[in-house]
Amino acid sequence: MAEPRPEVLIVTGASRGIGAAVAFRAARAGYAVAVNYAADAGGANSVVDGITDDGGAAVAVQADVSDPAAVARLFDAAAALGALTGVVNNAGITGNLIGPLLDVPAETIRRVLDVNVAGVLYVCQEAVRRLSTDRGGRGGSIINISSTATKAGSPGTWVHYAASKGAVDVLTVGLAAEVAAQGIRVNCVAPGSTNTGLHAAAGMPDRVERLRPSIPLGRGAEPDEVAAAVLWLLSGEAGYITGAVLPVSGGR
């Protein structure tokens, strides 16, 4: 008798940071993981190696989420691992700069919106196509990764980025209501300042430390703490939760 195929989780932008932490934690929870990346093949393959060395199942899949055809290929590759039950929409960029909106080049704004808004929409569309019980799917869960930057709008640093994440929050609420009867839950995790390479890539490696005094818990988050919230929302323990935006921010 053939063994049942594992449940599959797609994690976009999983070559490092929060995405990698989600992939590792998901594998430990028994998921087979499609580790998506746009350009960092080395990082994605390192995540896959870490998972497989620990006895899990994973595959690295290159796809730029701002390209809907590439998103479809990502889902096709994930299907080879088993039955899709969850998607984590983590891929996101700041444009690798910090400063007032006035100084953000038009091409940077376009690229941030392409990845952070259009890319999330494309992934959600494909997830619904594959998961919807109305379309022959088995249902499942979509988790979008937003940011608590949406609270104040990140003035002087990342207004463009905060605006893109505000769109993710609205998408989560609307889509959750739209597909609830199709067996799909849609939720969002909004991290606060987190110890990843995001800040260094934008030219301010000490940004989390600078913000520490304004965080009630007195420190930035670790990626695995954000990943823990994601895995909880994916789990049956959160089976009555949909349309939620969960801050993981230390109270800030």
CA atoms within 13 A on the CB side of 208: 21
Tokens describing residue 243: 């349309």
Cβ–Cβ under 8 Å, residues 109 and 118: no
CB atoms within 10 A of CB 76: 12
Alpha helices, H only, the chain: 17-28, 41-53, 68-79, 106-113, 119-131, 149-152, 159-179, 198-201, 207-211, 223-234
Determine the 3-state secondary structure of 244 from DSSP: coil
The whole-angstrom separation of Cα 131 and Cα 207 is: 39
Instruction: For residue 37, indicate whether it is catalytic.
Output: no
Tokens describing residue 212: 């520490």
> Among the options 31, 122, 161, 240, which is catalytic?
161
Cα 173 to its chain centre, rounded Å, is 16
Indicate the Cα dihedral angle 142, 143, 149, 150, nearest 10°. 30
What are the residue numbers of the active site?
A: 161
